[in-house]
């Protein structure tokens, strides 16, 4: 078994390997330290030798873990049929609530912390992976909805990228940074729903046709 392919998808991995990556993920969430090769081996009840055979080195394991988690988050498509203002608003709010609840989750915070730490050590790959599967994936997911809204005469903007970034800013604001910096921010269902509703209304004020 060579040290694993360049990209990791669900079926690139054996069940045992998924166990290992889930172990690494759980250790990561429990606190940035603790994620040592010995720790992962113990948690997954496997030998360090196997770890190195499968993942090459520590960075390989980390990369695989991040990709593995990214692969878990599958997008929910939004059908652009029968788009009126109300369904567009619902789609935007659903997207926003999902975005905020993911961002506020333990796993997202831990993963972003790890990737950010590595970005400060000329190991740019983890950050790129997180960006690609986080922020950029979100853009690819929402922009078709925005463009559908424009085609239906409900929204007005030049570039969907700019419109998306505005919506992103209105929804996320300073929340992610504060969470990453360790602030214990209470974000229940109701707060999230209220914040997203406000953001959506503001977005309509700015970009409504």
- Which residue from 38, 82, 121, 205 is in contact with DNA, where contact means CB under 7 A? 38
Is the Cβ–Cβ distance between 145 and 91 less than 8 Å? yes
CA distance linking residue 144 with residue 140, whole number of Å? 7
Is the Cβ–Cβ distance between 100 and 192 less than 8 Å? yes
Is the Cβ–Cβ distance between 199 and 96 less than 8 Å? yes
- 159-164-169 Cα angle (round to 5): 130
Q: Which window, 43-51, 82-90, 94-102, 179-187, contacts its own copies (CB under 8 A)?
A: 179-187
Give the shortest CB-95-to-its own copies separation in angstroms.
Answer: 15
| Residue 79 or 194 with smaller CB distance to its own copies | 194
CA distance linking residue 202 with residue 53, whole number of Å? 52
> Binders of its own copies among 107-146, rule CB under 8 A?
110, 112-122, 124, 127-128, 130-131, 135
Decide if residue 18 touches DNA (CB under 7 A): no
Q: For residue 89, is it left (φ>0), alpha (ψ between -120 and 50) or beta?
A: alpha
- Which residue from 12, 29, 37, 193 is in contact with DNA, where contact means CB under 7 A? 37
Q: Which window, 9-17, 57-65, 93-101, 105-113, contacts its own copies (CB under 8 A)?
A: 105-113
Q: Which residues bind DNA (CB under 7 A)?
A: 1, 14, 16, 33, 36-38, 41, 45-50, 52-54, 57-59
């Amino acid at each position: 078994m060579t040290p694993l392919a360049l990209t990791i998808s669900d079926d690139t991995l054996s069940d045992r390997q998924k166990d290992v990556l889930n172990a690494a993920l759980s250790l990561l969430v429990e606190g940035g330290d603790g994620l040592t090769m010995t720790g992962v081996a113990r948690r997954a009840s496997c030998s360090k030798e196997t770890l190195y055979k499968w993942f090459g080195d520590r960075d390989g394991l980390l990369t695989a873990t991040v990709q593995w988690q990214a692969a878990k988050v599958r997008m929910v498509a939004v059908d652009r049929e029968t788009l009126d203002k109300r369904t567009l608003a619902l789609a935007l709010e659903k997207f926003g609530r999902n975005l905020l609840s993911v961002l506020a989750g333990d796993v997202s915070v831990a993963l972003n912390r790890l990737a950010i730490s590595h970005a400060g050590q000329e190991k740019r790959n983890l950050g790129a992976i997180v960006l690609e599967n986080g922020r950029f994936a979100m853009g690819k997911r929402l922009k078709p909805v925005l463009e559908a809204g424009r085609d239906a005469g409900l929204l007005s903007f030049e570039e969907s990228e700019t419109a998306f970034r505005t919506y992103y800013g209105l929804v996320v604001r300073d929340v992610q940074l504060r969470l990453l910096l360790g602030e214990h921010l209470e974000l229940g269902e109701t707060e999230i729903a209220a914040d997203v509703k406000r953001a959506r209304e503001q977005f309509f004020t700015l970009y409504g046709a």
